[in-house]
Structure 1
């Protein structure tokens, strides 16, 4: 089973809900969004990524950098986009 990574170039980019005329920023079922890098690019990744030890290490790093009280909203990952994409690629190949 391959884990895909979906990069959304703008946080304002919307996904249409099936059977609905409205739009939502919510990731599809079984996925979650994180914001990576200085420009806080949005990535939508599978929830199963949370089970991997390397991703847990990345979350600990994010906790040390930002803490749990994030009034700006969204889960921010304090690394470069290249590092994040490489990590997710490595996780999906294991």
Structure 2
């Protein structure tokens, strides 16, 4: 339990640091080198912008999320960026698993 909690905490810190580069109206130029912006949420009202390391894109579980995004949105994303159609807590839990290796 303590190990899982620390991973979640690390992921939140990483995402918080990444979010310091962003806002809802941020431009694509606000993304630092080695990162990409994604929008996470099941509906337009819930979507939040996150800046994640591009290394996350190679993770099999993240690629599954990308497949779901492709099925739902195709390549015409309503926000103009990559949209991940999942709950924010699931996204944070998933990325917490990656953060221990980065």
What is the number of residues matched between the two proteins?
A: 84
Tell me, which stretches of 5 or more residues in structure 2 are unaligned? 1-9
Tell me, which stretches of 5 or more residues in structure 1 are unaligned? 15-23
Map of 2:59 onto structure 1: 52
More strand by share: 1
- Alignment counterpart, residue 11 of structure 1, candidates 24, 29, 42: 24
Q: Which has the higher contact order (CA 8 A, sep 6+)?
A: 2
- Alignment counterpart, residue 71 of structure 2, candidates 51, 54, 64: 64
Map of 2:92 onto structure 1: 85
* Greater Rg by CA: 1
What TM-score, normalized by structure 2, do the two folds share?
A: 0.69
Runs of 4+ in 1 over 3 A off after TM superposition: 7-10
What TM-score, normalized by structure 1, do the two folds share?
A: 0.74
